[in-house]
Amino acid sequence: MAILVDNESRIIVQGITGSEGSFHAEQCLAYGSNIVGGVTPGKGGQSVLEGVPVFNTCYDARQSVQANVSLIFVPAPFAAEAIMEAADAGIELVVCITEGIPVRDMIMVKAYLKNKQTRLIGPNCPGLLTPEQAKVGIMPGFIAKPGRIGVVSKSGTLTYEAVYQIGRVGLGQSTCVGIGGDPIIGTSMLEVLTLFDADPLTDAVVLIGEIGGSMEIEAAEYVQQHGKKPVIGFIAGETAPPGRRMGHAGAIVSGADESAAAKKAIMRSSGIVVVDSPAGIGEAVAQQLQTA
């Protein structure tokens, strides 16, 4: 295993009977992920996708099939409740793909999870992928291959580009983690970076950030003070005007250190190798491994 998910992860899909949940659960199954059940209130006792049992609650799924990962495709008005239900059932890892969850709801979720042993990835994220072991989300699995490069990113699209660039230079990924770009998310860049740093199957980390917020700065400070492995970074949003949201809800520059230029300068001064184009990620990773 690299980090968070592997072929032994026992995954349920909340919202599995909906169109999005059903489609992506089928894709995860086809990839080889261990989907052991789904949850849709009122539809317990049914089965979908040629034998995947459906439960009324996460608690039922936890008890019946020993689920430890939940993948959420629940509409935004109900997604916060779904996250808290999974946490209340004792699910260790919750991956919420849903976008458009109100900030007010996520404030409530964040406070609720402080007293739980549940880690949340997302919301508004592409999920996780450990190549040839587990796909938990919507990442295209065919572009990834097993290797020793960890990827953590705010952007789904740039996650895929980073994975592609790493593959072009003959390397692969340990685990790819899309943390999401909303103002309030469950797991930060720093938290994922520390997991990769402690993982013996990860040799280097690619960090994809963007304008807005302070997560990249916190990660840079960690690399400077405690980092053990090479980190290659890219910041999206170089040309974004201050005060205007670009793409993600969290991508808005409101302070001097939140612009792309400021973040890149801080990251470079902390020992992170920063590329100016995502097309340079693969080559930068290869160079760092040669000199490490």
Q: Which of 135, 248, 263, 264 is catalytic?
A: 248
- The strand order across the sheet containing 47-48 reads 47-48, 52-55, 35-39, 11-14, 69-72, 93-96, 119-121
Report the C-alpha gap between 113 and 222 in whole angstroms: 24
Given a contact cutoff of 8 angstroms between Cβ atoms, the answer to whether 207 and 219 are in contact is yes
The encoded tokens of residue 251 equal: 């991508």
Residue 248 annotated in active site: yes
Catalogue the active-site residues: 248
